[in-house]
Structure 1
Amino acid sequence: MKVKKERIQVALEKDLKMEAEDILQDLGMNPTTAITVFYKQVVEEGGLPFEVKLSERTKQTRRIAKLAKKTPNVTRIDDNETLEAWLNEDE
């Protein structure tokens, strides 16, 4: 008995797609096989087969940003030039 298959379509950032496909190729897999493995694990686990959480670095960055919003007269640093100027203010 032939299993009926359905097509899924996903939009990804090009760089992410390319990097992931390079890794999959090294593992001897194509994207279809990897997605099939992922779906099977979702069914087996009853949810995502890995923990989804913020990295420690991201959590720290968010804490710093929160504190900065609460602190008056904070210089906003969006780029390297502003950072350099801020670091050299006292010189």
Structure 2
Amino acid sequence: MKTAAGHSRIDPETKQKAETILNRLGMSPTEAIRMFYTQITLRNGLPFSVEIPNEETERALQDSRSGHNLERFESADDLIDSWK
């Protein structure tokens, strides 16, 4: 089988984190990229949903990034109890 090379630029932190996860999965970056491209061709598009967040979600993301309007809990049980 012939192969073609592809090149991309990815920030080093993202690359390192992704490759750590791939290593835990027993996959090389090349195998992951091949799988991604195969899924694109099989689905005739990206193999996951890509959407622009609505206003409420965007506000929640901004709050999360800035540390505003956040509730903190000592445990997962405390979080679940707050839903009651």
Q: Same fold (TM over 0.5)?
A: yes
Q: CA deviation at 1:59?
A: 1.5
2:78 maps to what in 1? none
Q: How does 1:37-52 map to 2 (within 5 A)?
A: 37-52=35-50
Q: Distance in 2 between matches of 1:4 and 1:63?
A: 46
What one-letter code is carried by the residue in structure 2 that aligns with 1:5?
A: T
What one-letter code is carried by the residue in structure 2 that aligns with 1:7?
A: A
TM-score (norm 2): 0.64
1:23 maps to what in 2? 21
In our comparison, the structure showing a higher alpha carbon Rg is 1
TM-score (norm 1): 0.59
2:81 maps to what in 1? none
Q: How does 1:5-84 map to 2 (within 5 A)?
A: 5-54=3-52, 59-60=58-59
Q: Distance in 2 between matches of 1:5 and 1:62?
A: 40
Q: Structure 2: any 5+ residue segments left out of the alignment?
A: 67-84
Moved over 2 A (4+): 53-58, 61-64
Q: For residues 28-71 of structure 1, what are the alpha-carbon distances to aligned partners after superposition, in whole Å with 9 as ceiling and x for unaligned?
A: 0000000000000000110000011245776226899xxxxxxx
The percent identity for this pair of structures is 35
Mark the CA change 1:54 to 1:26 in structure 2 (over 3 Å): closer, same or farther.
farther
Aligned residues: 64
SS in 1 for 2:42: helix
Q: Structure 1: any 5+ residue segments left out of the alignment?
A: 65-78, 80-91
